[in-house]
Amino acid sequence: MNEHKKIQLKDYRPFAFIVDHVDLIFDIREDHTRVTSKLKMRKDPAWADETTPLVLNKGKFDIISVVAGDMVLLPGEYKSDDETFTLAATPDVFELEIANILKPDENTALEGLYRSGSILCTQCEAQGFRNITPYSDRPDVMAPFSCTIVADKTRYPILLSNGNPVKSGDLDDNRHFAVWEDPFKKPCYLFALVAGDLAVLEDRFTTSSGRDVALKIYSEKENIALCSHAMTSLKQAMAWDEKRFGREYDLDLYQIVAINDFNAGAMENKGLNIFNAKYVLADPQTATDDDFMGIQGVIAHEYFHNWTGNRITLKNWFQLSLKEGLTVFRDQEFSSDMNSRPVKRIIDVKNLMAAQFPEDSGPMTHPVRPDSYIKMDNFYTMTVYEKGAEVIRMIYQLLGQDLFRQGMDLYFEKFDGMAVTLEDFVGVMETVSGRNLDQFFLWYTQSGTPEISMTRQYNDNTGSLSLTFTQSTSPDRNQSEKKPFHIPVRISLINRAGETVKQEALYELTQETHTFKFENVSADIYPSVFREFTAPVRLSTDFSDQDLAFLMARDTDPFNQWRAAQTLFINEIKNLVTAIRTGRAMTVSSGLIQAFSLALEDRKKDRAFLSKALALPLETEIKDHFEIIDVEAIHQARTFLKQTLAKNLESELKTVYEICRPAPPDDISGAAMADRSLKNLCLAYLGCVPDKGNQALVLKQFENAGNMTDEFAAFKILSHMTPEMRDSACQAFYNKWQARTLVIDKWFSVQAQSRLKDTLDQVKQLTTHKNFTMANPNKVRALIFAFAMNNPIHFHRADGQGYEFVAERILALDKINHQTAARLCACFNLWKRYDENRRILMKRQLETMAGQKTLSKNLYEIVSRALE
């Protein structure tokens, strides 16, 4: 394994040149595309002198011609290799024209210019633009772009780029062209081009100042009927950003294109978003309620980037959270306003705890602003995105809604058109609030999840309740000693009747230990702390299981009700794991069954909320609560708890299942979705007991479902029952949906996550299925990721075969798509946390990977960090 250089934040230097204009020409031919880039440049006197060479980033392609001014340069007069293009000297002001040939059909990495089916498209973030043409591929080099596309009119009737269409027309040989101009300066990672035979869904939006914006969503012709939910979501997002943040759209045209082969979820290219089709296409027959929510959220996310990311962009990639954390915060707020706020909060926090907390405790731990990277692609992480959003949320809470809005206004005003830093962002928040956020800034520079313990002391004589909070953060590879964080905590007090006796207020922890004293309260008062998950910390309290059962029923913050329920489940599972390990019989406490039953009977509770509160934590979440992860015991304990609850509460579950049924199958209102989610939770409980009646109930729903939410829920349950039930469900589902590639992804993922014994063999078989290909990231995620990340008992088979299979797939994938291969490799990251046998087996796979002669930089970085 070769060593690769780390890029460090402390080495940041501005680019020594200014790009005044970029003019690109794409001449698309049958088997290649010829790119010509005309750059107008000048030296930046602050950073360049007469000896400064021009060094541009460049991918692996051949240069055909270079013209500087009116001089044709010979190959000896410039230097070009697989990484850079260099001119030893340049005038102060100059024009440079470089032409090169690309082979998009051979580009399996899906960065730069590539083919997805019959469509040609680009993906440039983070550093893909250099694979298109030599350029200073960094976010702080901003320029206005124009783009001319020339192509065959039959194969590529639609030619799109950023900004506004300015000219188009026919040429000889059945060819045509289109010229686009983007008036806004932008970094090259926001450049985009699409050419193909696409259908379009059109709509309009009038902004608050009266700009009439044409909205266009493009997809393959057969899918255009599936774009209307995306369009509705876009209009909702545009209206919301005006209302909540005073941000209007700034061009006359907003375009979205749905693509089948895409490494990520979607991309915010200026005026031309490119989306993974999964986040555009939906109807109730083929998409689940979660898919509908996902689309609404991602459409909004990319739209919000127009201000947070595009108009104001990043000084360097280390600042990634400046656009991503902030934009995730914005999309979370949007989804909360459009749907149920408490439920959205629960979903987001669950996601954070299940994926970001473990990331932050393993080899990929990094501050929200990383200090170094080998491949930036590896830092599009839960930490940068989700923890980054939590950090913004804390600022929002510390300042309050009004000051935060003022801070945002100032941010937009002061930095519009610029490439800035996290200090700039926090700086405006300091300016408007007059607060010092120096200690707070540690959230950006220090990695790790703080652990907070809370204890109560009640003084009978004085009637005062003291709450003592202690924080500590474990040292890690980034900092050997951690300073205390500045942590906001929202606290309210409630009595036994569930009434608020002290209104919620914000408290701040800045030292290792803090005690807050509440006077004149009675002894049976409960504190409700970290309401709405005020800060991204692990919390332990001195609450007993009885206390938790009370809070689950009566806390005035739904998030904390959820948390209490989850903590009860975790405590129960911990006890069961201990019983398994010490050979004692497993029993579930009657208190838990009763708390569960009470919650199920509460007809006033929001059903979407209940479906979250009563869902057991996933095995992947549970593992985070163990020092050493015992895969089998956790699985056994969770299954036992689920079955015990189901057996004890069978009739209640059936009752709730029945009451939740009436919504029409294609109703995607919040209430209908809430009913379905609770109904399907009940079904999942009922379906986990091997009982003929329950099996028949699941099968009936599977066969008669009128929408994908119900069909898929039943399908998942069937996939765990018996090989026969699974196989016939798989057959039926496949026959029905084989022509719909996004639904077939669900088919793969259900099989990959089955608990049945032969799952690994099934998954191996499926890699040769005619609908499967390693070249399509959605397929790889549906089958291989789902197996490696969400099927712990089979991935972590004691014989190591799960590891061997996945490692072999990672290496195969690394040859064609290094970004996705590196992401997949995260399944080995926590290897040190498992028992000795698994530790050795996982390490062996990492070492095999490390021993390869040709490993991509992306995968190298993940593997070498894991083995460090």
Interacting residues toward Zn ion by CB under 5 A: 324, 327
Tokens in use for 454?
A: 């809370």
Quote the least distance from Cβ 433 to Zn ion, whole Å.
26
CB atoms within 10 A of CB 664: 11
User: Binds 96, which of Zn ion, ligand PHE, none (CB < 5 to 8 A, cut-off by type)?
Assistant: none
User: Binds 43, which of ligand PHE, Zn ion, none (CB < 5 to 8 A, cut-off by type)?
Assistant: none
Q: Measured from the CB atom, is 323 or 809 closer to ligand PHE?
A: 323
User: Binds 380, which of ligand PHE, Zn ion, none (CB < 5 to 8 A, cut-off by type)?
Assistant: ligand PHE
Quote the least distance from Cβ 245 to ligand PHE, whole Å.
17
Using alpha carbons only, give the angle 177, 179, 180 rounded to the nearest 5 degrees.
Answer: 140
Q: Measured from the CB atom, is 267 or 807 closer to ligand PHE?
A: 267
- Class of residue 462 by CB neighbours under 10 A (exposed 0-12, middle 13-18, buried 19+): exposed
Distance CA 849, CA 1 (A): 9
DSSP assignment, residue 391? H
User: Binds 680, which of Zn ion, ligand PHE, none (CB < 5 to 8 A, cut-off by type)?
Assistant: none
Sign of CA dihedral 749, 751, 752, 756: positive
Q: Measured from the CB atom, is 382 or 713 closer to ligand PHE?
A: 382
Locate tokens 């945002």: which residue? 408
Quote the least distance from Cβ 385 to ligand PHE, whole Å.
7
Distance CA 731, CA 725 (A): 10
Q: Measured from the CB atom, is 259 or 549 closer to ligand PHE?
A: 259
Q: Measured from the CB atom, is 283 or 331 closer to Zn ion?
A: 331
619 catalytic per annotation: no
Distance CA 458, CA 524 (A): 9
Q: Measured from the CB atom, is 267 or 649 closer to ligand PHE?
A: 267
Which residues form the interface with ligand PHE (CB under 6 A)? Answer: 123, 125-126, 263-264, 266-268, 301-302, 305, 324, 380
Quote the least distance from Cβ 257 to Zn ion, whole Å.
17
Quote the least distance from Cβ 305 to ligand PHE, whole Å.
6
What backbone torsions phi and psi does residue 339 show, to the nearest 5 degrees? -130, -150
Taking CB atoms, the residue at the shortest distance from ligand PHE is 264
Quote the least distance from Cβ 482 to ligand PHE, whole Å.
29
Q: Measured from the CB atom, is 324 or 710 closer to ligand PHE?
A: 324
**Ordered DSSP codes for 534-593:** -SS-EEEE---HHHHHHHHHH-SSHHHHHHHHHHHHHHHHHHHHHHHHTTPPP---HHHH
| Residue in 302, 324, 619, 711 annotated catalytic | 302
> What's the CA dihedral at 90, 93, 95, 100 to 10 degrees?
40
User: Binds 23, which of Zn ion, ligand PHE, none (CB < 5 to 8 A, cut-off by type)?
Assistant: none
Residues 6+ apart with CB under 8 A from 272: 160, 161, 162, 192, 194, 255, 256, 257
Tell me the C-alpha to C-alpha distance, in Å, between residue 695 and each of 684, 701, 714, 726: 10, 10, 10, 12
Residues 6+ apart with CB under 8 A from 624: 353, 354, 357, 358, 361
Amino acid letter for position 320 = L
Amino acid letter for position 451 = E
Amino acid letter for position 505 = A
Tokens in use for 564?
A: 């209490």
Quote the least distance from Cβ 386 to ligand PHE, whole Å.
11
User: Binds 125, which of ligand PHE, Zn ion, none (CB < 5 to 8 A, cut-off by type)?
Assistant: ligand PHE
- Classify 72 as helix, strand or coil: strand
First to last CA, the chain: 14
Quote the least distance from Cβ 741 to ligand PHE, whole Å.
20
Q: Measured from the CB atom, is 320 or 426 closer to ligand PHE?
A: 320
Quote the least distance from Cβ 146 to ligand PHE, whole Å.
23
Q: Measured from the CB atom, is 80 or 123 closer to ligand PHE?
A: 123
User: Binds 829, which of Zn ion, ligand PHE, none (CB < 5 to 8 A, cut-off by type)?
Assistant: none
Of 330, 345, 367, the closest CA to residue 241 belongs to 330
Of 514, 491, 515, the closest CA to residue 503 belongs to 491
Residues 6+ apart with CB under 8 A from 262: 110, 116, 123, 274, 275, 276, 277, 777, 778
User: Binds 267, which of Zn ion, ligand PHE, none (CB < 5 to 8 A, cut-off by type)?
Assistant: ligand PHE
Active site residues: 302
